[in-house]
Amino acid sequence: MPVEKVSMSLDADVLAQARERVGGRGVSAYVNDAVRRQLRRDALAEVLAEMREANGPVGDEEMEEVRRLWPGPDDDVTRQLA
């Protein structure tokens, strides 16, 4: 896949943590993966917003079922459904 070189600014502490985590793999690949994940989350949020607009909000019973099936403290999906 073609790549394009860019310049960006990151908080110093964020960059230091990224460098510690990736070792020899490189910050560019790490940032690329993070941006790709965020793009997927943004696309999911758009689909969920369209579904909410077309069908109304998700009911309490359905949300409880989702939380029961997919428990987790950091569940983006259940937050976006609510």
Model pLDDT, residue 77: 58
**49 assigned to some structural domain:** yes
> What integer pLDDT is reported at residue 34 of this predicted model?
96
- Residue 71's pLDDT is 76
Helix (H, G, I), strand (E, B) or coil at 7: coil
Is 5 part of a structural domain of the chain?
Answer: no
Determine the pLDDT at residue 41: 95
Task: Tell me the per-residue pLDDT of 55-79, one tens digit each, with 9 for 90 and over.
Answer: 999 899 998 998 888 877 655 655 6
Asked whether residue 32 is assigned to any structural domain, the reply reads: yes
Residue 6 lies inside a defined structural domain of this protein: no
Residue 79's pLDDT is: 62
Q: Is residue 64 a part of any domain in this protein?
A: yes
| Residues 1-16 pLDDT 10s | 899 999 999 999 999 9
Q: Where are the alpha helices (DSSP H) in 1-82?
A: 12-22, 27-55, 60-69, 76-81
Going by the DSSP 8-state scheme, the letter that residue 71 receives in this structure is -
Tell me which residue range forms the domain holding 30.
12-81
Total count of domains within the chain: 1
